[in-house]
Amino acid sequence: MSKAPALELIDIHKTFTDVEVLKGISLKAYDGDVISILGSSGSGKSTFLRCINLLENPTKGEIIFNGESLKLASSGRDLAAADMKQLTKMRQQIGFVFQSFNLWPHMTVLQNVMEGPAHVLKRPKQEVMDYAEHLLNKVGIADKKHMYPNQLSGGQQQRVAIARTLAMDPQVILFDEPTSALDPELVGEVLGVMRKLAEEGRTMLIVTHEMSFAKEVSSEVVFLHKGVVEEKGTPDKVFNSPDSERCRAFLSSTY
């Protein structure tokens, strides 16, 4: 196993004003890994995920994507991208699915999915359209392609958001609590799509509170507590015999 990780985070720190929210988190994701990130609210899960593609500038740390280290330069107390070209290139290859979907409401479902490949990657229009329709079909929304996001339910919007992410052919996809904003009866349809992606061998980092889903699809589970990795291992290890007392307490309270 000499293959380099697809994504490697080394010693990520983040301080907001005077609170250190991330206290040195390291993580490696190899191709095909599905890593679930668990932790109670406020433990830093979103901040960590957002530091990976610099939606949030880390205070310290290194981000290596495909063996290439992201160039960072000091900007105040934090580190900001030193090479915007490199950053946008990297972002094109790392998908991000938000808790609140964040579809562009002035575009139809189809336009939302086509936007990235057509205007960022500048792929041929017809090819992009065919692929977008294929993806909408895959997430079960093909019949809604000419509708606008506000005409859809939350579960449908999130599935469109996943299709929008897949349209970029990302090498790694980051999910930040993709089902937390959904009514309980809509959670299943989104998890179904994500399960399919996991089975396809996609590389994913998933922040979630869906414990049985995490247990089932993950190759690795990470438990964050107050900005540090408190427990990490196979789902079997973390769910059934965690070393950390806090992890055990967290799991018994939520699962």
Ligand X SMILES: Nc1ncnc2c1ncn2[C@@H]1O[C@H](COP(=O)(O)OP(=O)(O)O)[C@@H](O)[C@H]1O
Residue 132: CB atoms within 10 Å: 26
Binding mask 147-176 for other proteins (x = CB under 8 A): xxxxx------------x---x-------x
**Secondary structure (3-state) at 19:** strand
Residue from 2, 3, 18, 41 touching ligand X (CB under 6 A): that is: 41
- Structural contact between residues 127 and 146, judged by C-beta atoms closer than 8 angstroms: no
Given the structure tokens 């937390």, which residue do they identify? 180
**If contact means CB under 5 to 8 A according to the sort of partner, which of Mg ion, other proteins, ligand X, none does residue 90 touch?**
other proteins
Q: How many residues bind ligand X (CB under 6 A)?
A: 10
Residue from 13, 45, 144, 232 touching ligand X (CB under 6 A): that is: 45
Binding mask 70-109 for ligand X (x = CB under 6 A): ----------------------------------------
Residue from 11, 26, 32, 42 touching ligand X (CB under 6 A): that is: 42
- Least Å from the CB of residue 228 to ligand X: 12
Residue 229 binds to ligand X (criterion: CB under 6 A) = no
Residue from 46, 53, 112, 179 touching Mg ion (CB under 5 A): that is: 46
Residue 13 binds to ligand X (criterion: CB under 6 A) = no
The DSSP annotation for 44-82 comes to SHHHHHHHHTTSS--SEEEEEETTEEPPEEEETTEEEES
Residue 254 binds to ligand X (criterion: CB under 6 A) = no
Phi/psi of residue 183, each to 5°?
A: -65, 145
Nearest to 237, CA basis, from 249, 225, 220:
220
Residue 44 binds to ligand X (criterion: CB under 6 A) = yes
Across the beta sheet with 220-225, the strand order is 94-97, 172-176, 203-207, 34-38, 220-225, 228-233
Positions in the binding site for ligand X (CB under 6 A) = 16, 21, 39, 41-47
